[in-house]
Amino acid sequence: MSTTTVHTPAPARPASAPYRLSAARLVRSEFIKLLTLRSAWWSLGVTAALAIGISLLMAWATTDFGGDFNPVLAITAPMQFTMLVAGILGALAITGEYSTGMIRSTFAAEPRRGAVLVAKAVVVAVLLAVTTVVTSTVALLASAPIFGDRTLDWGSPEQSVIPLALGVLAMATFALLGLGWGFIIRSGAGAIAATVGILFVLPIVLSLFALGGESWAWIVDLGQYLPASAAQVVTSPAPDDFWPALITLLAWPAATLLGGWAVLRTRDA
């Protein structure tokens, strides 16, 4: 009596997915997510309105200054206000996903959490940089008739191009600072409070110690290592202590983003 052997066919291998989430697609998806938020457009609109409006007001206010005022300062000065909006936008770029639970879908599509952080950082930085370039260009064109003969000295880069370029860099770093706090705290209110506290409140608190005299001067001196003070230095025409200020400006967002990366690796979504 013979035995019949039944051969069971091996299960077919699943076909590989036609698409994979490459770095370019990940960045594109983060752009789509951010630009579909009304809060992002409101933030960019407020940034543009403040930057252009304050620049024009400063241009009108300096008509009696003669040649003692560098017009580039009218373009970079609004950053003391727009930096807050940039930081808030950076915080909202990630905390909104935590509040809605979308962050779980994001990590399901891209399990490499560090890649998600880098993609969001690229998107936020590019968006604020482009916005700053546009608003600075509009402010320059709109204020040119007001300044008249007191135009920017384009032949001297340290008096014109360099401060404007560093203003673009500064706005991107402010947004990255907020993004880093968003990853660390995961709460919109908390991340915004931390960002605004560092950019706006802490400089005021440290300056109050000047009332205490020389014994408290070292606390006042710490203010130069805050991001807002560093940005003010690097965007000034031909500033002193340029390199320490630039390092300070870059170190703050780098530290918060590294902290956010550490939190992502050790905490559930």
Listing DSSP states for 237-264 in one string gives: SS-SSHHHHHHHHHHHHHHHHHHHHHHH
**Cβ atoms of 246 and 234 closer than 8 Å:** yes
Q: For residue 200, what is the DSSP state?
A: I
pLDDT at 7 over 70: no
How far apart are alpha carbons 73 and 51 in whole angstroms? Answer: 12
Residue 34 confidence (pLDDT) above 80: yes
Check: CB of residue 261 under 8 Å from CB of residue 118: no
pLDDT band at residue 238 using 50, 70 and 90 as cut-offs: confident
| Residue 18 pLDDT exceeds 70 | no
Residue range 33-59: average pLDDT?
A: 95
d(CA 231, CA 250): 10
Q: Are 77 and 164 in contact (CB under 8 A)?
A: no
Q: End-to-end alpha-carbon separation of the chain, Å?
A: 63
Task: Kindly state the tokens that stand for 251.
Answer: 């170190």
- Percent of the chain topping pLDDT 70: 91
Take residue 254 and report the two structure tokens written for it.
Answer: 């780098």
Question: Does position 1 have pLDDT exceeding 70, yes or no?
Answer: no
pLDDT at 11: 46
The C-alpha angle 85, 91, 92, rounded to 5 degrees, equals: 90
pLDDT per residue as tens digits for the range 170-227: 999 999 999 999 999 999 999 999 999 999 999 999 999 999 889 999 999 999 999 9
pLDDT tens digits, 132-177 = 999 999 999 999 998 887 888 888 999 999 999 999 999 999 999 9
What share of the chain has pLDDT > 90, as a percent?
A: 78
Q: What is the pTM for the complete model shown?
A: 0.90
Q: Is pLDDT above 80 for 65?
A: no
- Local confidence band at 15 (pLDDT 50, 70, 90 cut-offs): very low
pLDDT of amino acid 155: 87
pLDDT grade, residue 66 (50/70/90)? Answer: low
Best CA proximity match to 126, nearest among 87, 172, 166, 165: 172
Token pair for residue 150?
């007191």
Q: Which residue has the higher pLDDT, 184 or 61?
A: 184
Does residue 79 contact residue 170 with C-beta atoms inside 8 Å?
A: yes
> What does the pLDDT read at residue 267?
85
Q: What is the mean pLDDT of residues 215-240?
A: 94
What's the pLDDT score for residue 182? Answer: 97
- The rounded mean pLDDT for the chain is 90
Residue 252 has pLDDT above 80, yes or no: yes
SS (H, E, C) the chain: CCCCCCCCCCCCCCCCCCCCCCHHHHHHHHHHHHHCCHHHHHHHHHHHHHHHHHHHHHHHHCCCCHHHCCCHHHHHCCHHHHHHHHHHHHHHHHHHHHHHCHHHHHHHHCCCHHHHHHHHHHHHHHHHHHHHHHHHHHHHHHHHHHHCCCCCCCCCHHHCHHHHHHHHHHHHHHHHHHHHHHHHHCCHHHHHHHHHHHHHHHHHHHHHHHHHCHHHHHHHHHHHHCHHHHHHHHCCCCCCCHHHHHHHHHHHHHHHHHHHHHHHHHCCC
Helix or strand holding residue 35 (H, E): helix 23-35
Kindly report, residue by residue over 100-109, the tens digit of the pLDDT: 999 999 999 9
pLDDT > 70? residue 67 = no
Q: How many CA atoms lie within 13 A of 187 on its CB side?
A: 5
